[in-house]
Amino acid sequence: MAGAFSDWRKLPVSLSELCINTTLRCGQSFRWQNIAESEEWRCVLYGNLLSLKQDSQHLYYRTSSPNLCSSPKLPISGTPSRPPSDTKINGNKDDHLLDILKHYLNLSSNLSDLYAQWSSQDPNFKKKAAQFTGIRILRQDPWEALVSFICSSNNNIARISQMVEKLCIHYGPFIASVDGRPYHDFPTPEALAGKDVEGNLRSLGFGYRAKYIYQTAVMVSQEREKGWLNSLCNPEAPAFGVEAKPGDEMKPEGRAGYRDAHEKLLELQGVGPKVADCVSLMGLGWGESVPVDTHVWQIAQRDYRFGKGSQKTLNKATYDAVGNHFRKLWGQEAGWAHSVLFTADLRSFADRLAATKKVDVAVKDEKDEIEIKTEVTTAIALAPPKAEADIKTEPEEKPTTTGTRGKKRKGSTEGIVHASQTTETRRMSKRLRK
């Protein structure tokens, strides 16, 4: 339906602060749908179907118009899940949507400053991160993160995404239908605690994970007090709609709240140390949480000299050692820095960036010295919404971005913008060259 969405609004944010083409498909969230023909990303968040798009200087967003959507239907369990949200924060629906977006994308942190901090502490990070700017740790709903990462056990991103979509289609509330495609929100614990859930999930191809999802849904909805999962959130990065509070003191093994949340998550079915850390980082807001799977273990062995002597296999001792090493190296947001290196090591991103990397070297001959300027630019294909006349701009109250904004050069391909850019200038005395 051409009129199913509101007008585009735009939020000032540079690609060095946020790159949705990387952030939304690097294994954090598994519900975002890429609409190739319009270069949009769509997902239901808190009962709202949101669509995102980006250029070098702005993030564009819009939502479906409820009066143009089909009538909602119940999930097959017969239990209503989270309904479409009409909650208004700060007085109107537009402000509410902007609050959702800023919370989910974790836009309060200055990412350029964090990258600079991690680069100054870690030469390996500095070497790789220049081509992977704009990766943000999402602040997802804790329940969605928990179930999604239970599905991630011995799995790949494509198959996890398929499983999560099946959960939403069969057990999540219907929100909207756009261009013939239905969109559902994520099911609640109550919706996944029905007696027929485990059998249905097995028939849908979930395998042994069906039992874990069902049992965990029962534990969270029936055996824990209401709001238990949200209570495990970092008080400095709480669940959506909750006011932030000061947190604990950072220690080598992480803050006390993080260690407590991690241990409590391990009580649930299908949750081991890695899943608990993924949920802690991407659902509960504990930035020091470092999920260590076989892929991260390989990075630790190759780039940080783990695996020498007695540290040859990934067990509890080496798992904890890797996490503590990265926490000491990168600090309170170690899990964020780790995710950048994790993404940089994925083949799909390496292939894409390798094909669009450009190096320009300019030599300027002055009177007594020669100036050599090297500019390395990594580009990705992006395009802003075409209906520029309908775009409404969110004012930038406080500048939070310091990265280089990409600009289209004369003669460049349409839609190509800078994803990252680094410049190095060296001056050499002519007498030294003789």
Q: Is 13 helix (H, G, I), strand (E, B) or coil?
A: coil
What's the DSSP call for residue 66? G
Instruction: Determine the Cα–Cα distance for residues 234 and 227; give it in Å rounded to an integer.
Output: 14
User: What backbone phi and psi angles, to 5 degrees, belong to 363?
Assistant: -115, 125
Q: Is 262 helix (H, G, I), strand (E, B) or coil?
A: helix
Is residue 357 annotated as part of the catalytic site, yes or no?
A: no
> Which residue is listed with tokens 């100036």?
371
Instruction: Determine the Cα–Cα distance for residues 341 and 348; give it in Å rounded to an integer.
Output: 14
Count of C-beta atoms within a 10 Å radius of residue 274: 19
Question: What are all long-range contacts of 196-200, with beta carbons under 8 Å and residues at least 24 apart?
Answer: 196/77, 197/77, 197/171, 200/76, 200/170
Q: What H or E segment, with its residue span, contains residue 431?
A: helix 430-433
Q: Sign of torsion, CA 19 24 25 26?
A: positive
Give alpha helix (H) positions in 15-156: 20-23, 93-104, 111-121, 123-129, 142-151
Secondary structure of 211-238 in HEC code, one letter for each residue: HHHHHHHHHHHHHCCCCCCHHHCCCCCC
Residue from 251, 274, 308, 392 carrying the catalytic annotation:
274
Residue type, 363: V
Instruction: Determine the Cα–Cα distance for residues 144 and 213; give it in Å rounded to an integer.
Output: 11
Instruction: Determine the Cα–Cα distance for residues 121 and 136; give it in Å rounded to an integer.
Output: 19
Count of C-beta atoms within a 10 Å radius of residue 92: 10
What's the DSSP call for residue 64? B
Least Cα distance to 171 among 105, 37, 69, 74 occurs for 74
Residue type, 380: I
Count of C-beta atoms within a 10 Å radius of residue 383: 14
Q: What residues are annotated to the active site?
A: 274
